[in-house]
Structure 1
Amino acid sequence: MKTFRLVAISLVHGEEVEQLDLQDGLIINREYGKENWLIEALLPKSEPEKYEEFRDKEEMLHVQATISKPTNDPASFEAVVRQVAVMEDKMSILFEGELFRKNTNYHEKLLERLVNEGYNGDELVEAFKNKVKEKPVLEKSK
């Protein structure tokens, strides 16, 4: 097993990215088959029932996790909530999931989308740089 520090975590809902208010966290590569990972996120106690519902329904979530340092690109996971531990003013959410690979055409699709939105010239270059820095939302591979 390999353990890393979790520095940011988001839930992706289609085109929407919900950045979670991470207070602390770990991510563990269990190193056996299917790239199985555990992600533990310590969050402020807010909406524990939402995560309990995800857990109870075993809903597959698209999770983006930034590992080790904030400047790293996030890794994308298909994960389920395995445990919700509610404390006095915090909660711990344990996700279990599989790493999924970036769509290799991501940059091409991003550029195409920006051109379709009307960007061109220097404005296009700046918009492209900003979107890439935003930590890209990756498409689910199914």
Structure 2
Amino acid sequence: MKTFKLVCLKIDEQSAEAKNIPLLDGLVINKEDGENSWLLESLISKDFLPYFEEQKEANRTLKMFVTISKLSNAPARISASVNTITVLDESISILFDGRLLTSRSQYRPDELLESLLDQGLSGNALKEAFKESIQQREHSTKL
């Protein structure tokens, strides 16, 4: 098993923006079991207790973006459920069981450019279509 510091946690609620969960502290454990199993423990404000109790009660699977070690790292996409909620004096600890999701197939930039050229685009129209397509792909992978 490998252990990492959890530095950012976002939950994809199928809205325009992912729900950011401000962390007081956090830990990520890659079980290295060949099944992409991960454990996440997040120490967060008690303000989130009703939200996570509802998720646990409904046995919901959450799509999450987790960033480990440092904020400049790309977030990993994880599908997880709330395992345990522990109420502490000043905060709550949420333990999640999850699986790492593989990245969706995306065009490589050169393949995207070739596709746009095949559509007859050039000049500023090509530049704008390329920029818009890249932004759409980035947004589709955000939690």
Larger radius of gyration: 2
- TM-align CA RMSD: 3.2
1:45 matched residue in structure 2: 46
Aligned residues: 130
Separation in 1, partners of 2:58, 2:88: 22
What amino acid is aligned across from residue 35 of structure 1 in structure 2? N
Q: Which runs of 5+ in 1 are unaligned?
A: 112-118
Q: Deviations over 1:58-91 (max 9, x none)?
A: 2100011001110001000110000111122211
SS across alignment from 1:52: helix
Q: Deviations over 1:83-102 (max 9, x none)?
A: 11112221111111100011
Separation in 1, partners of 2:96, 2:106: 28
**Mean CA deviation greater in 17-26 or 46-55:** 46-55
- TM-score when scaled to structure 2? 0.75
Separation in 2, partners of 1:71, 1:18: 19
2:99 matched residue in structure 1: 98
The runs of at least 4 aligned residues of structure 1 exceeding 3 Å deviation read 119-129
1:116 matched residue in structure 2: none
Alignment of 1:1-142 (within 5 A): 1-15=1-15, 16-105=17-106, 121=127, 125=131, 128=134, 132=138, 136-137=141-142
